[in-house]
Structure 1
Amino acid sequence: MAFPDTTLIKALRETAMRLRNGAYYAWGNHGGCNCGNLLQVVTSLSREEIQAYAQSGIGEWTEIAEDYCPVTDAPAYMLIARLEGIGLTPTDIHHIEYLDDKEVLYALAGGFRWLKRNVREDVIDYLEAFANLLQQKLDAKNSELITGAFLQTAPALSVS
């Protein structure tokens, strides 16, 4: 699962909001699919630019992510590097494209249900649940850090 990070959480929420507000969506288009819309937020590239870059690689986002090589200069891999740069793994990229991470599905408002990868409303629900799940993990991590720091700096209490 992705590392909980505010940049990633904001990007997921903004992507969901853009889709809710009518952003172009087509699952079969690299620039307008689930990952394509997320990339528009992360990179500020247009749908057309993402489509052109993605077509320099092979296959769908899942295959591009699995074949990622940080040494190459191929533009498609630059897009994957941007997604990884905000905390996603190749597995996360696959799950975003297919809406099938069970941990995210269990975090859906209303409880677990299977989603369809090419249905705008399902993509919105998935991205929001993913952002909420990451936010919960980040809040728990921050709470642990604060509690740990407090316990290390709190004076010892003596009982008389």
Structure 2
Amino acid sequence: MARPNPELIDALRRTARKLTEGAPYQWGHMGGCNCGNLAQELTKLTKDQIHAYAMQRYGDWNEQVQDYCPTSRMPIDVVISEMVNAGLSLEDLKNLEKLSDKQILSRFPLEKRFLKHNQRDDVVVYLRAWADLLEEQLLEMIELPDLHVDRSYTPV
């Protein structure tokens, strides 16, 4: 699962919002699919740039991630490296493309867990649920100091 951090949570929510507002979505387009839309937010590249980088090698996101090499300097590997540096794991990218992370899906009622990976609305609910999950995990990691209030103090 992704490393919870405010920047990643915000990128997931921005991606969901943009898709809701009509951002280009095309599951078969490497820059306009599930991973492609999130990559746009994390890298600030356009969908066409991401697609062109991906087309320098074969395959969909799953295959690109499988063949990922952080030192290759292939443009798509640089994109994937930026996504990993933002807190995502390679498994997260595979799951995002298929909307298949069990931990995220378990947040939905049983009858709503069968999301279609190439449906904009399903991508939006998945991204929002993922952002909520990461935010909860981030909040659990925060430890506040024990605030001892000195009740004997009286202001002058």
**What TM-score comes out, normalization by structure 1 length?**
0.87
> What amino acid is the match of 1:44?
K
How many angstroms does 1:58 deviate by?
A: 2.6
- Work out the CA distance in 1 between the residues paired with 2:124 and 2:98: 13
In structure 2, runs of 5+ residues without a counterpart are 149-156
Residues 43 and 83 of structure 2 are in contact (CA less than 8 Å); yes or no, is this contact kept in structure 1? no
Q: How many residues are aligned here?
A: 148
Shift of 1:57: 2.4
Q: Could you tell me how far apart the structure 1 residues matched to 2:129 and 2:57 are?
A: 30
Distance 1:64 1:70 in 2: 12
| Unpaired runs of at least 5, structure 1 | 155-160
What is the match of residue 121 of structure 1? 121
Partner of residue 44, structure 1: 44
**Residues 9 and 135, structure 1, Cα contact 8 Å, conserved in 2:** yes
Contact 1:42 1:82 in 2 (8 A): yes
1:7 maps to: 7
Corresponding residue of 1:158: none
Aligned counterpart, 2:32: 32
- Report if aligned partners of 2:12, 2:38 keep a CA contact under 8 Å in 1: yes
Taking the aligned partners of 1:37 and 1:60, their CA distance within structure 2 comes to 14
Quick one: distance in 2 between partners of 1:56 and 1:8?
27
Where relative contact order (Cα < 8 A, 6+ residues apart) is larger, the structure is 2
Q: Is the contact between residue 35 and residue 61 of structure 2 (CA under 8 Å) also seen in structure 1?
A: yes
Question: What's 2:132 paired with?
Answer: 132
Q: Counterparts of 1:50 and 1:71 in 2: how far apart (Å)? A: 18
Q: Give the ranges of 4+ consecutive aligned residues of structure 1 lying more than 3 Å apart after TM superposition.
A: none
Matching of residue 53 in structure 1 with residue 50 in structure 2: no
Question: Could you say which structure has the higher helix fraction?
Answer: 1
RMSD: 1.6
Structure 2 Cα separation of the partners of residues 63 and 4 of structure 1: 25
- What do the CA deviations read for 1:55-90 (whole angstroms, capped 9, x no partner)? 112311111112211111100101110110111111
Report % sequence identity.
42
- Matched residue type, 2:135: Q
**1:21 Cα deviation from its structure 2 partner:** 0.1
Aligned counterpart, 2:63: 63
| In structure 1, C-alpha distance between the alignment counterparts of 2:12 and 2:57, rounded to whole Å | 24
CA distance in 2, matches of 1:66, 1:7: 25
* SS of match in other structure, 1:103: helix
Distance 1:2 1:28 in 2: 24
